Amino acid sequence: MFIDKEFKPLSSEFIKFEQEVKASGKSQKAAFCLERNDELKTRFDFEIFADGVDDERNYRIAERIFKSMLWIAGGYKLYVSAGKYVENRLVDEYRYGGAREFDADFMAGIYEAKFEVVPTEYKKVPKANEKAQKIGGQLKGCRIGFDAGGSDRKVSAVVDGKVIWSDETVWNPKLNSDPKYHFDGIMDSMKRAAEKMPRVDAIGVSSAGVYINNRAMAASLFIKVGKEDFDKHCKDIYLNCAKEFGNVPIVVANDGDVTALAGAMEFGVNNILGIAMGTSEAAGYINSKGRINGWLNELAFVPVDLNDTAMVDEWSGDKGCGVKYFSQDGVIKLAEMNGFKFEDGLSPAEKLKVIQGLLAKDDECAIKIFENIGYYLGYAIAWYSNFYAIDNLMILGRVTSGKASDLIVDNAKKVLKEEYKKLADIKFLFPDEKNKRVGQSIAAASLPNC
């Protein structure tokens, strides 16, 4: 069934852990509460073995839960009650110089606050404090919808919900260190959209990265910009653009959330998780009330595999995380595991095209690869469901092109039906090609609630 014979689904391992803890008769309550901006908090309660029964197993599961919370919800301060062994190891590993230094440093940067793990008694772990944000669905007036991509920037002039003009411009933000290049490019697109309308009432922006209060806290678009220039010119780049139009209302959202919003608007549904499989794994989520949670939704860094020999992500230094399962890297990994030999010198994108070309010819190896991505996805959905209420799942991205989408979805459904019956009714949605472009523009333009 599996090409990746060492795959150890975290979702299955967690269920097994819970069952064994319950059967042992030697358990204790555990809780994580993760605080982020504006004193918002996300909490996760579970049970672990009592201290001294199996401390290492407790840590193995607890740390993966925390790692998942960290990249799904985001935060800079963890209140933890999970026994001394787990608490002390989390303190030691999630710090500067610790095994999870990358995670701690990244979060400290985007929240502009010291990252810390705070052990406490179970009864003193703070309660959740969530505040979902209402975005999108407002289409009255003259609006600019802007989508900042890594290879092109898209802009639309939207009047009362209709796209009257749109344009795509090739650019290279990831190769440019001059923040003026970025500002001028964004303004060029926005001004041309503004010229097509009698006025500008609001601006909505869809952009890859982490945005808090419309500020860019981390974004691959500005990867070549030095820290000093980033802090001075890029963090408020979209707010500064809005000033050029008389400080009109502007809302900046992660492109994953905007994609999920576009799906919610297109299909008329909520509780929708959107996953894009391309260079990496991107995601967005719209909750039961049609709002975003204000979470990071960075599923690329969320673990899905508990196998100790799983592939390591070069950036974070962690293993078993989504980026190596739901991206072009995942396709390449499975191809090589199955004995496929690529020509020397091919880029990852070119390798993906090779496998997709074989799939178009119904090559058995290629079929197996995308079937296995479907298996991966089924188990990953089960893990993600511990943090999201998922009624609808929208998948898109280059990895899902052509015949791949059916293979991925059919096998994900098979996993859910056979092993996670409570999740078997999740609906899989596919935006059509027109709505992938126009729908994203409309969704971005609809972000400001005015």
Euclidean distance between CA atoms 47 and 29, whole angstroms: 5
The residue written with tokens 């039906």 in the block is 417
Sketch the domain layout of the chain as residue ranges: 10-124, 142-254, 259-438
The CA-based angle 400-404-406, given to 5 degrees, is 105
Closest of 71, 59, 61 to residue 34, by C-alpha: 71
Query: Exposed, middle or buried: residue 196 (CB in 10 Å: 0-12, 13-18, 19+)?
Result: middle
Name the average pLDDT for the chain. Answer: 94
Residue 273's pLDDT is 97
Euclidean distance between CA atoms 28 and 22, whole angstroms: 10
- Residue-by-residue DSSP string for 92-129: HHSSTTSTTHHHHHHHHHHHTS--EEEE--GGGSPPPB
- pLDDT band for position 1 (50/70/90)? low
> Does pLDDT of 438 surpass 70?
no
Residue 300's pLDDT is 93
Which CATH fold topology does 142-254 show? Nucleotidyltransferase; domain 5 (3.30.420)
| E strand spans, 328-426 | 392-396
Residue 442's pLDDT is 85
Taking only the tens place, the pLDDT of each residue in 287-345 is 999 999 999 999 999 999 999 999 999 889 999 999 999 999 999 999 999 999 999 99
Euclidean distance between CA atoms 347 and 353, whole angstroms: 10
> Does pLDDT of 182 surpass 80?
yes
Residue 278's pLDDT is 87
> Does pLDDT of 101 surpass 70?
yes
Taking only the tens place, the pLDDT of each residue in 21-31 is 999 999 999 99
**Fold match between domain 142-254 and domain 259-438:** yes
- Give the mean model confidence (pLDDT) for residues 398-423: 96
Q: Reduced to 3 states, what is the DSSP secondary structure of residue 254?
A: strand
Other CB atoms closer than 10 Å to residue 139's CB: what's the count? Answer: 16
Closest of 376, 347, 342, 372 to residue 358, by C-alpha: 342
User: What's this model's pTM, rounded to 2 decimal places?
Assistant: 0.91
Euclidean distance between CA atoms 303 and 316, whole angstroms: 12
Residue 63's pLDDT is 98
Q: Read off the amino acid at residue 126.
A: P
Residue 211's pLDDT is 92
Euclidean distance between CA atoms 349 and 352, whole angstroms: 5
- Give the mean model confidence (pLDDT) for residues 105-111: 95
Residue 435's pLDDT is 59
Q: Which CATH number fits domain 259-438: 3.30.420.40, 3.20.20.140, 3.50.50.60, 3.40.640.10?
A: 3.30.420.40
